[in-house]
Structure 1
Amino acid sequence: MRCEDPPPELWPIWQPLWSRRSDLGGWGIGLATALVTLVIIGGGYLVTLKFAVHRGVSVFDSRTEADAWFGPTPWAMGIYMTLYLYLPLQVACAPRTRKGWASLLLSLQAGIWLALFSFATFLVAPTFLHTRGEMEAQLTTSSSWAVPFFESLYLVDAPYNAWPSLHVSLSLLFLLTAQHLMRGRFPRPVVWAWWPAWAALLWSILATKQHHAFDIWTGAIAGAAIWALYLAPRLASLGKGEVRIGSGRGQKT
């Protein structure tokens, strides 16, 4: 395989991105993967959500007793918004090397497969998020700083597409990818500190009444499955001995 050829694990569609992998000091692929993730996965989510609202069907009630353990907590919105850190986290952690760029594209591929599975579930077995009404009732009498954030969120995120939680599955996938890229390059406490942060994110999703506990569990299972069965084996197969871009001289990684 020639040095400029992409690893065989990557889809051919990424060839144009791969050919410009050293653009922007090596950050081009990272920014491109983030943009493609937002467009494809975010766009697909909104399309399936609009269809679910139009259809107005819920095939079962995914509430369990566990949902009563978490009362509506408006200030949890502050932690909930950390959800949007996990995509840029993996981009920031990727070394600007052949292996780092390929890892980001493989993560994108895994995210697309995960999203397609989730979209199919949303269409075949739609569920309504019943517990959101608890938070809406709380907000009517609340003066919390978080009220405008909930109002903005509710404008675009209707109470459907509940299970498996794509928020949970994607954030887990991005976190596992970031940790894979961090190992050996960052202090161990930095690597593992993200797990308590992710656990806090799960709590905030329940406390903001954005998902049922069942949605959280199934989302975590979906994210772990795509990691174990698809992404982790492909990351492990990537070659070593790459050259870092940006310091002015080659550096083996």
Structure 2
Amino acid sequence: MTSRISAPRELVTSMVQVGRPLRNLPKRSAGNTPADMPAAGKCRHSDYCFDDGNVVLECQGTLYKVHRSLLERHSPVFREMFMLPQPEGSIEGLSEENPITLEGIEADDFTRLLSLLYPPVLGDCKITTVEEWMSIFEQADRWQIDCLRDKALGNLRMSYISPIPKILFWMRFRLPEEDIVQPFIDLIARPNSLSLSEAQAVGLKLLVKIACARDMARDEGLCPHSGGFSVRRDEALSRIVHEVFYPS
């Protein structure tokens, strides 16, 4: 029986706020899988199963044989996990037949994380899309790899992300409020109201606040026009955003 690390993946549209606990890591269970039993239904990752790797991890049936020291160096979560005592006779993580299972984590996401820890060319980075950087940010936040978290956030800040996905992602991870003032302005100033799918994505509480802010903007005559917004209108819309979404 392999150990399992519970780490449920949330969609970008989730309103769940993710913390970064170091404590309450799961205890390892005693392994009872014979060392010579084949790993049925599992496959080795073509790039991240190193001959000299000394810890075996599994995500969604994909096996990774990597270097414990590298994970410990960059992630306090992995460092504390590896310090947990193992029951006598347990060989979890030492063989492909009895890996440490990272439950609830997408294999593609974990592979992206490893691509930055093991770049094919020193200093190279093949992560380019917003979706990929969001994936890297989520993994870096989960494992508390702060340098990668900061790198991912920097790239997300420089990328265009449509208002609702950006707002939900920033709120989920409690990122700086000022980064999403403009997306909120875009939502409350646009001529059309939220679609059904957008309303379902933001949830009732946020939907009510957006509707309230749009009403305030309309009552103050801040509706969009062909000439765009003046500085004074932008300042007024920013004030409405702070009053509705970030009241002091």
TM-score for both structures, normalised by structure 2: 0.25
TM-score for both structures, normalised by structure 1: 0.25
